[in-house]
Structure 1
Amino acid sequence: MKKIFQYLFLLTGGSLIFSSCNDFLDREPLDSVTPDNFFFTENDLAAYAVKHYNFTTHSGFNAGIWKNDNATDNQAATDYDNKWIPGQWKVKEAFDNPASNDPWHFAAIREANYFLETVVPRFEKGEIEGTEANIKHYIGEMYFLRAKNYLSKLEAFGDFPIIKTTLPDEAEPLTAASKREPRYKVARFILEDLDRAIGLLTNNISGGKNRITKNAALLLKSRAALLEASWLTYHRGTALVPGGPGWPGKAEDLEGFNIDTEIAFFLKEAKAAAKEVIGNAALVQNTAKDCMDETVKTDDDKYKMSNPYFAQFSANSLEGYSEILLWRSYNLLEYKVVHSAPAYIRFGGNTGFTRQFVESFLCRDGKPIYATSQYKGDESLLDVRKNRDLRLQLFMMTPSETLSPIIMNGAPDLLPDVPQLLEINEKRCVTGYQVRKGLSDNWYRDGNTAIEGCPVYRVAEAYLNYIEADCIEHNGTSIGSEAAGYWGDLRERAGLPRDYTVTVDNTDLARELDWAVYSGGKQVSPLLYNIRRERRCELVAEGLRMMDLKRWRALDKVQHFVIEGVNLWESDLKDKYMKDGKNLLVQEGTEGQTSNVSSYANSGKYLCPYRAVKTNNLMYDAGYSWCEAHYLNPIAITHFRITASNPNDLSTSIIYQNPGWPTVANEGPLGIK
């Protein structure tokens, strides 16, 4: 069992059991594990399953998961993502490392299929040694992992082949199996696998919440169902929905399809799964909610590691936090499985909250910043946090706060008195608004030695899923009492009034900078928008923002959008970067000097991280812009060649390209110059 526990520290997966190639459906021989010598004990099943965990967690020399909302309107890195400049994201001929880079890759699905078609019959015949409950649990984990991998395909491509078995190494069956199925069928298949998993999994397994549990499966089911319900709702009438104008699939694949029936089904499933997991796992307490001061003093222990709401993101062990459904453990002394997230966060970590995100947080009276006298403005970073939603106060740093209780060489461990805008890229606080989520009391200056646990799933998402699904069911105009109660629980924990109507009644959509004000280029209701606001503020830096924006179709109106950070030129910051009587901030356009920040004259008072240098910078003038094709990934050309009856004529392939994308390598979306 020690080997299995070691794998638990490798939750993000590491190397897979099989080698991999990229022909057809990854048809490499199963040469590392064979039915003759494996899958006969529960330990075999446990080890195989955990080896295939591929969750996104902290690893390597970076800020870990706390950077995963970079390249959205929530957070920004030093380098921009070319996907925001139409024409720069291009179709690939093939990926250099398909196993890790090509989202069309089938290896993980094939390996799950291999497990299930081998193990399930053996279990039914009583041929596997071990406790029945444990054997069932590990089978449930593989159903979960197959569903999770399919969910990633659904997010990336929409329509996708549904493969339930391993296939012979023969061209004809492999090609036939490559046929894409309409996305709603893929989503239903995901839910079927998760239902199987839920029926087999327990919440009490050796390894605790470091292993997949029934609660984790319920949450993933809720997420998957809401994804499909909202996608069909907001993308209907486009080529990105089966049967929509320009959809590239075949009409015979849509027999019996009714989009309203599908939306209703997925909404119902999303709510039911969310409600069940909410009943199983309680929210943790935020002890800062009783603070009546303007600003929570976040370096006080009672608001930091003694506050369960803050500590559940940064404690060494997350096992005891009821809200955490799945987490990754680290171990320095025995297994040398570590990360460096907090070491990077304390400097800036090549990320930073955007002004657009920071301004979406409400004031403590439940009103937006433009509708209340409680907002103190942004002429100092401390002012920005005063009287605000506690999630902003807890998870955004202010200069000079205590980072850890360690005294080193007679000096306290403090954040510098200004944001590190001029640090090297990997350590820079990109926007001036510094992420604080995940920072514990442990002392880190450098090195890859952090052992703080990494959250993967938590029950708060289920609350958000239920509320949103309920509002969509009510056409965006109202919610039921149960949803209102769940929303009140989240708001109260964040130091806001339970009554959401205080916020809705004071919301002016025209004054909101949030892209999620829109779906398909049209404003949503103030109620639905504030449910989206709640989701945005509760899931600070947890990597779900881009998925949300895509499924809401919230990006249609994003054109030449300039990402902004702190008020740099009309605040107390502008004169704090002095050294030897010289200001280290060099504005863009300064003659004879290499600039390092945007200029007041060209970009205004707010720091614009992508307007510090104009030369060879496409983002300087373009800003963030979107095109419809980018809602789904293009399929690499190699997949058309190997599934075509005539490799020189890609139109003979059994698969089709996603709407708006060509079947020509190194080309951007059609119609984009």
Structure 2
Amino acid sequence: MKRITLYILIAILFSSCNDMLDEVPMDFVSRSNFYTNEIDAQGALNGAYDATGPDFYGITHYLMVELHGDYLNGRGSQAPISIMDQVLNQQNIGRCETNWLTLYRAVNRANAVLDNVVNIEDITEGARTRILAEAHFLRAMAYFELVRGWGPVPIKTKESTDLSELESPRMYESDVYDLIIEDLLIAEKDLSEDIGAETGRAGKWAAKMLLSHVYLTIGEWAEAASRANDVINSGKYAMVQVTEPDDFYKIFASETSSEDIMSIHHSETSTSTIPTYLHRGSAYPYNNSSTGYFAWLPDMNSFIGDSWDTNDLRKQFNFYEKYQDSDGNWVSLPSTVPVLMKKFINNADGLNIYSVPIYRYTEAFLFYAEAACQAEGAPSDLALERLNMVKRRAYGYDLNTPSPVDYPSGMSKDEFVGTVLQERAYEFMVERRRWFDLKRTGKVKEAFAAVGKNIIDERFFWPIPEDEINNNPAINQEDQNPGY
């Protein structure tokens, strides 16, 4: 019996499997005493949120997305991920399998909420509507990662509870996006406009941000601009003002900030593993832990090197060349790894209490600028102004006042869209954006050529897990993505 089948069978028979391969979480399998009231419904929803993990579907998904970008190189076992002129090796094919299973576990938990909460009697209608809307959002978010990573994927809209429900064919990408949009329109309508400091869960504005992102990805420009504009004009958020590089920690090194639309929050007792992959061990003040892989290495031959203006405070914020040793002396990083990244850190001064962003307010301005330009055929004054507001903040200028670093008017549509793409690269470094931005804009090969790398077409989509092919009757080896 293959691995997926074995784990699902264990889950069904014993309701106790905690392994990440378990697609039927133990929270949901006992229906005789569950799904009876509002507390149960909220508990099921919390289980669906838990599937996102501490680092947005787990560190394995995070690293696979990041190391497909053009400005990072993997180190150690992750090095082959960044060698884009060959298919993934077996170890990293295994990482793709982990990500597939993690995302479908998230889908299944959301489906469990949607299937069962509708039938609960002891619950207010307001709570039911909210919980179902959040589940629709979570399912959409998981499918957005799946379709962008693998292309056509199986669509599951009902909870899997036994082996007879494994059969599901790969569906066209357009069908997957139809489901994502259907889910998000429900979420947009039914989610609360005000979730206060609870930015770890979805509200209306997070739904609009995800909708804008989806519409941008599939080229529905007017819809993308409209949703981003709604968020900008909501009055709920504000960009954090920056005057020196470490001011950016006000965005990340806190439980919430004025531009936090949705994020995964961490504390000293609930930490992320992202810093472990960015830093050396005991590299104070960036990593107080003795563990450090420094496995995501910045490629200074890319756009983050000499071509990036050093007056941009984001450059100073994102990189460091020296750290303090155990005696408090500042020492240079070794010549083999002279620069590391410091957006996400872990130290003894409390700065490890930070958020891993899912969506932040600044992105709405760049969503709008790009989408409005595409929709209108040229950059409007408003699109240019919103792009410039992001750049002004990066240089420490007042957001609403013209500055010496403003981008000029008169750009063509293509020039403007390329400028927005570059601004996104600076703004959202190590935030899971660059690879998918390059893919959706058709700029992958151009960007990799700029850093002296070739990329083969087989690397545009990740391999379907062999166990899925072996155990899903609706999929066979002919359905595998090219190269695998």
Match of 1:51 among 36, 47, 69: 47
User: In angstroms, what is the RMSD of aligned CA positions?
Assistant: 4.3
Shift of 1:530: 0.9
- Is it true that 1:111 corresponds to 2:109 in the alignment? yes
Q: In the alignment, which residue of structure 1 is the partner of 2:4?
A: none
Q: Report matched runs for 1:384-399 at 5 Å.
A: 385=310, 388-397=311-320, 399=322
Measure the CA separation in 2 of the matches of 1:459 and 1:629: 34
Q: 1:454 aligns with which of 320, 331, 356?
A: 356
Q: Tell me the secondary structure at the aligned position of residue 42 of structure 2.
A: helix
Structure 1 residues 49 and 498: alpha-carbon distance in aligned structure 2, compared to 1, 3 A threshold: farther
- Which amino acid in structure 2 is aligned with residue 534 of structure 1? E
Q: In the alignment, is the contact (CA less than 8 A) between 1:67 and 1:541 conserved in 2?
A: no
Distance 1:359 1:21 in 2: 38
Q: How many residues align?
A: 448
2:66 corresponds to 1:69: yes
Structure 2 length normalisation: TM-score?
Answer: 0.77
Structure 1 residues 285 and 110, CA gap change in structure 2 (3 angstroms):
closer
Residue 463 of structure 1 aligns with which residue? 365
1:165 deviation in Å? 2.1
Q: Report how far residue 419 of structure 1 moved.
A: 2.6
Distance 1:274 1:398, change over 3 A: same
The two structures have a TM-score, normalised by structure 1, of 0.57
Q: Quote the residue 1:550 is aligned against.
A: 439
Q: In structure 1, how many angstroms separate the alpha carbons of the residues matched to 2:111 and 2:59?
A: 34
Asked if the contact 2:54/2:271 (under 8 Å) is kept, the reply is: no
SS of the residue corresponding to residue 76 of structure 1 reads strand
| Counterpart selection for 2:180 from 179, 190, 196 | 190
**Does 2:303 align with 1:357?**
yes
How far does the alpha carbon of each residue in 1:332-351 deviate from its partner, in whole angstroms, 9 at most, with x for none? 4xxx3234656864268443
Q: Which runs of 5+ in 2 are unaligned?
A: 1-14, 280-285
Query: 1:199-598 residue pairs with structure 2 within 5 A?
Result: 199-205=189-195, 208-229=198-219, 266-280=220-234, 281-288=236-243, 298=245, 304=246, 307=247, 309-315=248-254, 317-318=255-256, 321-332=257-268, 336-339=269-272, 345=279, 346=286, 349-355=294-300, 356-359=302-305, 363=309, 385=310, 388-397=311-320, 399=322, 413=328, 415-416=330-331, 418-421=332-335, 430=337, 432-439=338-345, 442-443=348-349, 450-475=352-377, 478-495=378-395, 498=402, 503=407, 525-557=414-446
The equivalent of 1:180 in structure 2 is 170
CA shift in 2, pair 1:362/1:650, >3 Å: closer
Partners of 1:185 and 1:340 in 2: how far apart?
A: 34
**Cα shift at 1:193:** 0.3
Superposed CA offset, 1:317-375 (max 9, x none): 22xx110112333344xxx3234656864268443432223247654xxxxxxxxxxxx
Q: 1:111 to 1:63 in 2, by over 3 A?
A: closer
Q: Distance between the aligned counterparts of 1:47 and 1:190, measured in 2? A: 24
After superposition, the C-alpha distances for 1:262-289 in whole angstroms (9 at most, x for unaligned) are xxxx22222222111222343333231x
Partner-residue secondary structure (3-state), 2:171: coil
1:624 aligns with 2:453: yes
Q: Paired residue for 1:151? A: 144
Rounded to whole Å, the distance in 2 between the matches of 1:506 and 1:192 is 38
C-alpha change, 1:62 and 1:18, in structure 2 (3 Å) is: closer
Q: Which amino acid aligns with 2:333?
A: P
- C-alpha distance in 2, partners of 1:152/1:81? 22
| Displacement of 1:209 | 1.4
- Between the aligned partners of 1:644 and 1:44, the Cα distance in structure 2 is 34
Kept after mapping to 2: 8 A contact 1:314/1:453: yes
| Larger helix share, 1 or 2 | 2
SS in structure 2 at match of 1:556: helix
Distance 1:97 1:490 in 2: 34
The DSSP-based 3-state class of the residue aligned with 1:540 is coil
Tell me, what secondary structure is at the counterpart of 1:208?
Answer: coil
Tell me the secondary structure at the aligned position of residue 159 of structure 2.
Answer: coil
8 Å Cα contact 2:391/2:405 also seen in 1: no
Aligned-pair CA distance for 1:119: 1.0
Q: Identity across aligned pairs (percent)? A: 21
The question of whether the paired residues in 1 share the 8 Å contact of 2:118 and 2:128 is answered with: no
Distance 1:414 1:137 in 2: 53
Aligned residues of 1:314 and 1:437 also touching (Cα < 8 A): no
Contact kept, 8 Å, 2:225 with 2:371, in 1: the verdict is yes
Name the larger-Rg structure.
1
Q: d(CA) in 2 for partners of 1:395 and 1:159?
A: 35
* Offset at residue 137 of structure 1 (A): 2.1
Gaps of 5+ in 1: 1-15, 230-265, 289-295, 299-303, 364-384, 423-429, 508-522, 563-622, 662-667
CA deviation profile, 1:51-96 (whole Å, cap 9, x unmatched): 222436459x99997997345222234342346343432689x959
